[in-house]
Amino acid sequence: MEQRDVVAGLRQMQVGLCLPLGAEGRLISQQLERLGMPYRQVWPPEMSDLLSVDLVVLALVPEAFIKMDKALLQTLKNKIVVSVLQFESPTVLDLACQLNSSSLLFSPVKPFGVLSAIVLAVNQQKVREDLIKRINKLEGRIESVRIIEQAKRFLMDTSGISDVEAFKIIRNRSMDKRCSVEEVAHSIITAMDALESALGKTSPISSSVKQEPKSKKTGSVIRIK
């Protein structure tokens, strides 16, 4: 199996330690010091303290969250979250899920296990980000296939040429113009659209293409909440 350095980079991360002051907070902060991870302890969590933080170690005290401001919850959710649980009850577990916790620590926390929880959470976040990137890329690719298909169909319908010939025309044009096949296809559709609106008619192709700007923003369609 390929060896990966799972701990490299941890010391460059800013940790927000969101735990009430007390023995548990002290124990975790001392362990973070041993790990060499810079942290700041804030309780209750406040927006201003969290802005520069990458990862939060967060006590899921239900009283502190049940009336929490939505913007603050959203800010917490966008961090890498390691939740510290004292209760294993549905309300608390619901909270852990809502905050998108990537790993858990259990009260009373021991020094053993803190590093593992952090490494797992960082890895989960990386896996998630890679997946999002991949999904965005794939969506972009599907979109480009769709546009090329439509441009091809337009050429085939208007010039009576074959599928292969239509594609050749688009590809040659892209090589001449030094731009992508997708861009050429897009300009064909735009021209077709302009032509048809000037003539005051709508074809099934152009009406479906009119939805195109919406679906072009593929990046915003899939967002991990």
Partner 1 sequence: MMTVIPVGVLFSQTGATSVIEKTQLHATLLAIESANALLSSHGFEIKPFYVDPQSDPYLFSSMSEKLITEQGVSVIFGCYTSISRKSVVPVVEKHNKLLFYPTLYEGFEFSPNVIYTGACPNQNIIFLAEFMFSMFGKNCYLVGSDYVYPYESNRIMKDMVNGFGGKVLGEQYLSIKASHAEFRPVVEDIAACKPDFIFSTVVGSSTGAFYETYAQAGLQPLTLPIASLTTSEAELASMQAYARADHFTAAPFFASILKHSDLPHLLTLANQTQGVPVNQCWESAYFQVMLFAKALMEAEDTHTDSVLKVLRGMEVDAPQGRVRIDPDNNHCWVYSRIGKSMVDGDFEIVKESKRTVRPDPYLMSYAISAL
Tokens representing residue 75 in the block: 């800010």
DSSP secondary-structure letter at 40?
Answer: E
Nearer to partner 1 among residue 89 and residue 172 (C-beta): 89
Return the number of the residue (20 or 38) whose C-beta is nearest partner 1: 20
Structure tokens at 51: 């802005």
Cβ-based nearer residue to partner 1, 23 or 198:
23
Q: Looking at beta carbons only, is 28 or 151 nearer to partner 1? A: 28
- Quick check: 157 binds partner 1 (CB under 8 A)? no
Distance between CA 20 and CA 66 in Å, rounded?
16
Tokens at residue 44, please? 């209750």
What would the 3-class secondary structure string for 86-136 be? CCCCHHHHHHHHHCCCCEEEECCCCCCCHHHHHHHHHHHHHHHHHHHHHHH
- How many residues belong to the site for partner 1 (CB under 8 A)? 13
By CB under 8 A, tell whether 38 contacts partner 1: no
Is residue 112 close enough to count as binding partner 1 by CB under 8 A?
A: no
Q: Is 24 buried (19+), middle (13-18) or exposed (0-12) by CB count in 10 A? A: middle
Task: Confirm or reject binding of residue 91 to partner 1 (CB under 8 A).
Answer: yes
Q: Is residue 90 within the footprint of partner 1 (CB under 8 A)?
A: yes
Q: Does 98 bind partner 1 (CB under 8 A)?
A: no
Considering only residues 30, 87, 138, 141, which one is a binding residue for partner 1 as defined by CB under 8 A? 87
What is the C-alpha to C-alpha distance for residues 212 and 149, in angstroms, rounded to an integer?
13
78 versus 91: smaller Cβ distance to partner 1: 91
**Residue 212, exposed/middle/buried by CB under 10 A (0-12, 13-18, 19+)?**
middle
Is residue 63 close enough to count as binding partner 1 by CB under 8 A?
A: yes
Query: Segment contacting partner 1 (CB under 8 A): 4-12, 50-58, 84-92, 142-150?
Result: 84-92
Q: CB–CB of 139/222 below 8 Å?
A: yes
CB of 204 to partner 1, least distance (A): 46
Contacts to partner 1 by CB under 8 A: 22, 62-63, 66, 86-92, 107-108
